C-alpha cells in the first residue's frame, strides 16, 4: 500500500508541476518564483534531515554529486519557468516525457553504454516526429513559440545531462540528503539570477494563485515528490518506474485543458500518441528465450 501511494503521488506531482510552473510565474518573476520554491524545499528538507537524523556529507565526492544534481534543478527547471510564457503546460510535459530517450542517448555517448539497436533508434524517430507534430500546432503556442521550444529543449537536455553525470559519481548518500545538498547549490543560483534579471520585489502585484503555486511546488514538487520518487525507485523495477513518464503527459494535457483553458487539438492528440508509443517502444525490454539443455 505504501508503494502504491508513493507511486500515485509521483504521478500526480509530475502531472501538476508544469501547471504550477506556469501559475507561479504569472505575477512573480520566474527567477524569484524558482528561488522561493527552492528556499521552501531547502528549509523543510533540512528540518527533515535533522528529524530523521540523516547525515549531510560535505566531502569532495558528495559536493560533486550535489553540483551535478543542481544542473537539473537550476538549468533545467529555470528554463522551464521561462518556457511557460510561450508554450502550453501540456507541451512542456510532453517535452519532458522524452527525457528517458535523451538520457539514453547521452548515456550512450558519454558513458560508453551498450550500442543502441534499430528498435531504439526507431523509437527515438517516432517520438521526435510526434514532438514536431505537437509543436506545429498553432493553437497552443504564443507568437514567439520558437523561444519556448528552445528553452524547453534546453531544459530537457539539462535534466538528462544531470542524470547522466550523477551516474558517474560513486557514492552512497540518502536521497533526502542528496536533495538538500543539491538545493544548497541551486537556491543561491536562483537568487543571483533574480538579482541580475530583475532585482525588484513588487509584492503588491503578486497574486494569491502564484504564491499558492510556489508553496505547492516547494512542498510537493521539490520535497515530497522527490522523496516519493526515490522511494518508488528503490521498491520497484526500473521498467515499472519508467511508466510514470508515459502517464504524466496525458494527465498534464487534461489538467491544462480543464484548469488553464488549453485547447486539445487533433495535432496534440496525434503527436502525444506518437511520443508515448515511442517511449513505450524505447523502454521495452526484449526477453531472450531460455535455452533448455537436454541430457
Checking if the pLDDT of 29 tops 60, the result is yes
3-state secondary structure of 87: strand
Bridge partners of 87, per DSSP, are 141
Checking if the pLDDT of 61 tops 90, the result is yes
Checking if the pLDDT of 100 tops 90, the result is no
Checking if the pLDDT of 294 tops 60, the result is no
Q: Which residue has the cell 508553496?
A: 215
3-state secondary structure of 275: helix
Q: Where are the alpha helices (DSSP H) in the chain?
A: 2-24, 30-52, 60-70, 77-83, 89-97, 99-110, 118-135, 145-166, 175-197, 208-216, 225-235, 238-242, 244-260, 266-283
Average pLDDT, the chain: 86
Checking if the pLDDT of 138 tops 80, the result is no
* CA–CA separation, 224 and 210 (whole Å): 20
Specify the DSSP class assigned to residue 292.
P
3-state secondary structure of 265: coil
Query: pTM to 2 decimals?
Result: 0.86
139, 265 Cβ separation under 8 angstroms: yes
Q: What pLDDT score was predicted for residue 291?
A: 47
Mean of pLDDT values over 222-229: 84
pLDDT digits (tens, 9 = 90+) for 157-197: 998 898 888 888 888 888 888 889 999 999 999 999 999 99
With cut-offs at 50, 70 and 90, classify the pLDDT of residue 284: confident
Checking if the pLDDT of 245 tops 80, the result is no
Checking if the pLDDT of 36 tops 50, the result is yes
Q: Is 40 exposed, middle or buried (0-12, 13-18, 19+ CB in 10 A)?
A: buried
Positive or negative, the CA dihedral 177, 31, 209, 244 is: negative
177, 230 Cβ separation under 8 angstroms: no
Specify the higher pLDDT residue, 206 or 10.
Answer: 206
With cut-offs at 50, 70 and 90, classify the pLDDT of residue 87: confident
Q: What pLDDT score was predicted for residue 295?
A: 43
Kindly report the number of other CB atoms within 10 A of residue 170's CB atom.
7
Q: What pLDDT score was predicted for residue 4?
A: 86
> In which region does residue 207 sit, left (phi positive, over 0), alpha (psi from -120 to 50) or beta (all else)?
beta
- Which of 262, 200, 186, 260 minimizes the C-alpha distance to 26? 260
Checking if the pLDDT of 139 tops 60, the result is no
Q: Which residue has the cell 519532458?
A: 96
Domain boundaries, the chain: 2-117+143-262
With cut-offs at 50, 70 and 90, classify the pLDDT of residue 285: low
- Which of 146, 159, 142 minimizes the C-alpha distance to 93? 159
Mean of pLDDT values over 88-95: 88
Mean of pLDDT values over 50-65: 93
3-state secondary structure of 141: strand
Checking if the pLDDT of 293 tops 50, the result is no
Kindly report the number of other CB atoms within 10 A of residue 258's CB atom.
11
Q: Which residue has the cell 521495452?
A: 284
With cut-offs at 50, 70 and 90, classify the pLDDT of residue 268: confident
Checking if the pLDDT of 235 tops 80, the result is no
H-run or E-run covering 98: none
- Which of 261, 253, 260 minimizes the C-alpha distance to 95? 253
With cut-offs at 50, 70 and 90, classify the pLDDT of residue 22: very high
Cell of 287: 526477453
Amino acid at each position: 500500500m505504501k508503494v502504491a501511494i508513493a507511486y500515485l503521488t509521483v504521478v500526480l506531482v509530475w502531472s501538476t508541476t508544469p501547471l504550477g510552473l506556469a501559475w507561479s510565474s504569472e505575477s512573480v518573476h520566474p527567477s524569484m518564483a524558482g528561488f522561493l520554491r527552492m528556499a521552501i524545499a531547502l528549509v523543510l528538507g533540512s528540518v527533515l534531515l535533522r528529524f530523521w537524523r540523516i547525515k549531510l556529507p560535505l566531502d569532495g565526492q558528495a559536493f560533486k554529486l550535489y553540483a551535478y544534481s543542481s544542473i537539473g534543478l537550476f538549468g533545467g527547471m529555470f528554463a522551464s519557468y521561462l518556457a511557460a510564457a510561450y508554450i502550453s503546460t501540456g507541451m512542456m510535459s510532453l517535452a519532458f516525457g522524452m527525457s528517458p530517450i535523451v538520457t539514453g542517448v547521452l548515456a550512450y555517448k558519454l558513458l560508453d553504454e551498450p550500442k543502441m539497436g534499430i528498435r531504439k533508434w526507431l523509437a527515438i524517430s517516432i517520438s521526435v516526429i510526434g514532438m514536431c507534430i505537437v509543436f506545429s500546432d498553432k493553437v497552443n503556442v504564443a507568437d514567439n513559440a520558437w523561444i519556448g521550444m528552445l528553452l524547453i529543449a534546453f531544459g530537457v537536455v539539462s535534466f538528462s545531462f544531470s542524470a547522466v553525470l550523477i551516474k558517474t559519481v560513486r557514492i552512497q548518500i540518502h536521497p533526502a540528503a542528496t536533495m538538500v545538498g543539491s538545493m544548497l547549490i541551486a537556491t543561491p543560483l536562483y537568487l543571483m539570477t533574480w538579482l541580475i534579471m530583475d532585482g525588484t520585489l513588487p509584492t503588491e502585484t503578486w497574486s494569491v494563485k502564484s504564491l499558492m503555486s510556489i508553496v505547492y511546488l516547494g512542498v510537493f514538487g521539490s520535497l515530497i515528490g522527490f522523496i516519493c520518487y526515490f522511494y518508488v525507485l528503490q521498491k520497484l523495477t526500473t521498467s515499472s518506474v519508467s511508466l510514470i513518464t508515459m502517464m504524466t503527459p496525458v494527465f498534464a494535457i487534461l489538467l491544462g485543458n480543464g484548469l488553464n483553458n488549453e485547447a486539445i487539438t487533433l495535432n496534440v492528440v496525434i503527436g502525444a500518441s506518437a511520443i508515448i508509443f515511442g517511449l513505450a517502444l524505447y523502454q521495452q525490454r526484449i526477453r531472450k528465450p531460455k535455452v533448455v539443455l537436454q541430457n
